């Protein structure tokens, strides 16, 4: 295994990539679902049946994200298909999933109804459904391409009986289904990048990932406003709203939630670096 990793690192170094070690670690992480073990002891010229190491190097030199080159990634330790139709699932978002799972563990009943708004590839919805075997999950997204990918993952993990994918704006796909006031958890990883900050981001992100999943208006809180307001219609009393936000947005988000007047038990959850990344609040109980 060490020889395999050494060859990868040397290849990325010779190609002049900025951080060969990180490139090596990222590739090994994505392949960790079994392909990496299959390659152990062999020259890594053909990483997958479709992609050679030379092709990976060529596309990485052009700034194409590794996940899109391989068309796969890992989230919560599980493999997911990854194409430019959806935002790349990131390790930071695992904090959001773990936060919801921790909350669920404190509840007396695990037959939860969960709505994942802006599901993208469905990584959050699938992860929650697998972590909460008695839950019912609705995975919603405005993008037909994203919901098609989410459905693939629902099928991949045999969750068709418990995860329903719907295409439409925010809660539109579940409006009229009788879920009003019945949902235990609304979870969301929304766009939260201010429009003016997009040009400062890495071209690897803005040049390849869908902008609709990144651009959140002038202050980066366009979706937050609607999410906080509309979630009230669906959450039961004491239901949980949990969403990810960007660095430095915690004060704006807290004021926005407080202003709604419908939530209590508000708090932020820090990532491993101590930076607030997830906001949680519960709807008031009459």
Averaging pLDDT over each range in 46-55, 226-235, 250-259, which range is the top one?
226-235
> Domains of the chain by range and CATH?
2-70 (no CATH), 91-283 (3.40.50.150)
Six-digit token string for 275: 């930076």
Mean pLDDT of the chain: 86
Is residue 203 pLDDT above 80, yes or no?
Answer: no
pLDDT (average), residues 4-27: 86
142 and 167 Cβ atoms separated by less than 8 Å: yes
31: left (phi over 0), alpha (psi -120 to 50) or beta: alpha
Mark out the alpha helices in 118-200 (DSSP H runs): 123-131, 144-156
- Return the pLDDT at 34: 44
Which of 28-42, 183-197, 254-268 has the lowest average pLDDT? 28-42
Predicted confidence band of residue 51 (pLDDT cuts 50, 70, 90): confident
Q: Which pair of structure tokens corresponds to residue 269?
A: 């959850």
- 156: its two tokens: 């991949």
Mean pLDDT of 153-169: 97
**What percentage of the chain exceeds 90 in pLDDT?**
53
The single residue listed with the structure tokens 């392909």 is: 35
- What value does the mean pLDDT take over residues 161-176? 96
* pLDDT score at 109: 84
**pLDDT at residue number 241:** 98
pLDDT band at 217 (very low <50, low <70, confident <90, very high): low
| Calpha distance 261→259 (Å, rounded) | 5
pLDDT of 7 reads 82
Task: Locate 272 and state its tokens.
Answer: 């491993």
223-239: average pLDDT: 94
* Alpha carbon separation from 69 to 15, 27, 187 (Å, rounded): 16, 11, 29
Q: Higher pLDDT residue, 175 or 34?
A: 175
**Between 100 and 224, residue with greater pLDDT:** 100
pTM: 0.86
Residues 284/263, Cβ–Cβ less than 8 Å: yes
Angle at alpha carbon of residue 145, lines to 143 and 150, rounded to 5°:
95
- The pLDDT assigned to 205 comes to 56
pLDDT digits (tens, 9 = 90+) for 58-116: 999 988 989 999 999 999 999 999 988 888 898 899 999 999 999 999 998 889 999 99
Helix (H/G/I), strand (E/B), else coil: 72: strand
pLDDT at 223 over 90: no
Q: 277 and 95 in contact (C-beta within 8 Å)?
A: yes
How high is the pLDDT of residue 176? 94
CB atoms within 10 A of CB 74: 18
* CA distances from residue 29 to 15, 22, 26, 167 in whole angstroms, order as listed: 20, 10, 5, 31
- Specify the pLDDT at position 10: 87
- Measure Cα distances from 115 to 135, 137, 162, 241 in Å: 11, 6, 12, 10
List Cα–Cα distances, 33 to 24, 129, 133, 135, in angstroms.
16, 20, 22, 26
């Amino acid at each position: 295994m060490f020889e395999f990793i050494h060859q990868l690192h040397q290849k990325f170094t010779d190609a002049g990539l900025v951080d060969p070690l990180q490139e090596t670690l990222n590739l090994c992480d994505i392949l960790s679902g079994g392909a990496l073990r299959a390659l152990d002891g062999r020259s890594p010229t053909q990483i997958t049946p479709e992609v050679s190491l030379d092709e990976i190097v060529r596309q990485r030199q052009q700034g194409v994200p590794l996940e899109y080159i391989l068309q796969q990634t890992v989230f919560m330790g599980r493999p997911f298909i990854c194409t430019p139709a959806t935002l790349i699932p990131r390790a930071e978002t695992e904090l959001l999933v773990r936060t919801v799972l921790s909350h669920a563990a404190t509840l007396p009943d695990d037959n939860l109804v969960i709505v994942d708004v802006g599901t993208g590839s469905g990584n959050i919805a699938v992860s929650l459904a697998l972590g909460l075997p008695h839950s019912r999950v609705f995975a919603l997204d405005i993008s037909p391409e994203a919901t098609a990918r989410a459905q693939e993952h629902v099928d991949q993990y045999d969750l068709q009986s418990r995860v329903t994918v719907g295409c439409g704006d925010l809660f539109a796909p579940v409006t009229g289904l009788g879920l009003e006031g019945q949902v235990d958890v609304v979870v969301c990883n929304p766009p939260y990048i201010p429009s003016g900050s997009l040009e400062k981001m890495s071209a690897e992100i803005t040049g390849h990932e869908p902008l609709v999943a990144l651009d959140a208006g002038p202050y980066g809180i366009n979706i937050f406003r609607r999410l906080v307001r509309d979630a009230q219609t669906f959450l039961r009393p004491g239901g949980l709203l949990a969403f990810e936000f960007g660095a430095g947005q915690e004060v704006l988000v807290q004021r926005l939630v407080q202003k709604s007047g419908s939530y209590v038990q508000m708090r932020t959850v820090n990532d491993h670096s101590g930076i607030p990344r997830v906001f949680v609040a519960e709807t008031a109980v009459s």
